Amino acid sequence: MDEKSEFLGKDNIKKLLFKLSAPIVIGMLVQAIYNVVDTFFVGMAYGADDVQAIGGLSIAFPIQMMVMAFGIVLGTGGSSIISRALGARENEKAERVLGNVFSLSLILSVLIAIPGLYYLDPILKVFGATAGVMPYAREYLKYIILGGTVFVFGVAVQNIVRSEGNARFAMNAMLVGGGLNIFLDPLFMLGFGMGVKGAAIATVISQAIASIWLLLYYLKGKGAVHFRSETLKPDLEIDKEIGAIGIGSFVMQCSNSVMMIFVFNALATYGGDSAIAVFGVIIKVNSFIFMSLLGMGFGLQPVVGFNYGAKKYERIAEAVKLSLAATTTIGIFGLLIILLLKEQILGLFSADPQYLEIGKKAMTIMLLGMPLVGMNVITSILFQALGKAKPAFLLSISRQLLFLIPLVTLLPRFYQLNGVWAAFPAADFLAFLLSGFLLLRVYKIFKENKEFSKTASGSEITDKMSNL
């Protein structure tokens, strides 16, 4: 086994989580920054009172996330298998998974682009695009979809690099892409006068550079998993395993986009273009909190996967407890900061009076459940890292599909626009309860089988975990 990953089973858990999570959180925050930067410069390019251009990016955002979701399914599925394979000293399997992630990235991006471009207008209408925001959303998305390969590959391989325990390199790739995007946005949008098209082109170029950075990491043999060209040949068994594990993250990302179909249509009915623009701004600002939570989860994943493969279960329990404490703290402090600065934050993107009035109330209500979200994120990633596809899938669809869509459909009938905003904290609470219930089941299995004993064989827990 490559010694580059051995520290995952030896180092102090608290220091290990910080070492792995801190670079990921920084990288994810940079990604959140350049999502916000796009909207900020669109506001500058089209005028402080033009909410339709901001609304266009708001509508485009969930569709862009659906493109990236294909990279997430490959990255989370592949990284779970690789980290467990490294822990079990199965290097050849890890190499075959890496090669299949590479080849599937190209195949899936082509399959996305053809129907995505052909049916772009109908897709935008489904997402609730009004006549005012449609031209901006269309102009932005056609370039994003054309550049789909770099998004799918980049997202997938970032996860694979993290699964080896090299979170710092993954962070550097995100910093390179994010920093370049922040530089190119004003150049293309304002300097060259390209508007939303410039924002899209800047994003594609930035992601392409980050993807090349990640590709060179493996081509130069720097990874714990070595790339061999013969592993590019699709292996059906490996591909099925990647899909079974990664489908949870894929559904979580896509369910977020599907949820936005219902939200945007409700907003178009009860609030119009200003409400759509407000929601887009809140989602991107909230991404600073959510990306931090996700970064903590991604830092946890290789620790769980490696130690599960190495049968060091007591380390898993400690890592999960610390991750839950950290994500809850992040949620509380992030919420307080956003609520204290909500007027200033909203004013960065538009000076439209209706937008500002709607935004202050929306931000107050919508984000109240953020301290609870960490439980859902950590528990979902825990099950993915353990290779338990069914509970991971259930948790991935719970917050957006099982709870939020029914709530956002029902509550506005009684409370109009306020009902849309109130659906979010209500869904967060229900997902928190479900996540806690499933997490307690795992701990019960651990305790029943004395799983935290250093001498435990792990055979009994493996059998019981297979029934989850």
Residue with tokens 């069914």: 390
pLDDT over 90 (residue 122): yes
Band of pLDDT at residue 234, cut at 50, 70 and 90: confident
For residues 96 and 326, what is the distance between their CA atoms, to the nearest angstrom? 34
Band of pLDDT at residue 461, cut at 50, 70 and 90: very low
CB-based contacts of 112-115 (< 8 A; 24+ apart in sequence) = 112/67, 112/70, 112/145, 112/148, 112/152, 113/145, 113/146, 113/148
For 141-192, what is each residue's pLDDT tens digit?
999 999 989 999 998 998 888 777 787 888 888 888 888 988 898 899 888 8
Residue type, 232: L
pLDDT given at position 424: 95
For 382-440, what is each residue's pLDDT tens digit?
988 887 778 888 887 888 888 999 999 999 999 999 999 999 999 999 999 999 999 88
Band of pLDDT at residue 5, cut at 50, 70 and 90: low
Sign of CA dihedral 333, 339, 340, 343: positive
pLDDT over 50 (residue 319): yes
- The more confidently predicted of residues 61 and 241 is 241
Domains of the chain: which residue ranges?
7-233, 258-450
pLDDT given at position 208: 94
Question: In Å, what is the CA distance from 269 to each residue of 31, 111, 135, 438?
Answer: 31, 33, 20, 37
pLDDT over 60 (residue 293): yes
Contacts of 303 (CB under 8 A, 6+ apart): 8, 13, 16, 17, 20, 315, 316, 319
Residue type, 321: K
Band of pLDDT at residue 49, cut at 50, 70 and 90: low
Looking at 95-99, 135-139, 246-250, 324-328, which range is the least confident one?
246-250
DSSP label at residue 94? H
Does the pTM of the predicted model rise above 0.85? no
Candidates 339, 405, 403, 412; CA nearest to 371 is: 339
The predicted model gives 67-94 an average pLDDT of 86
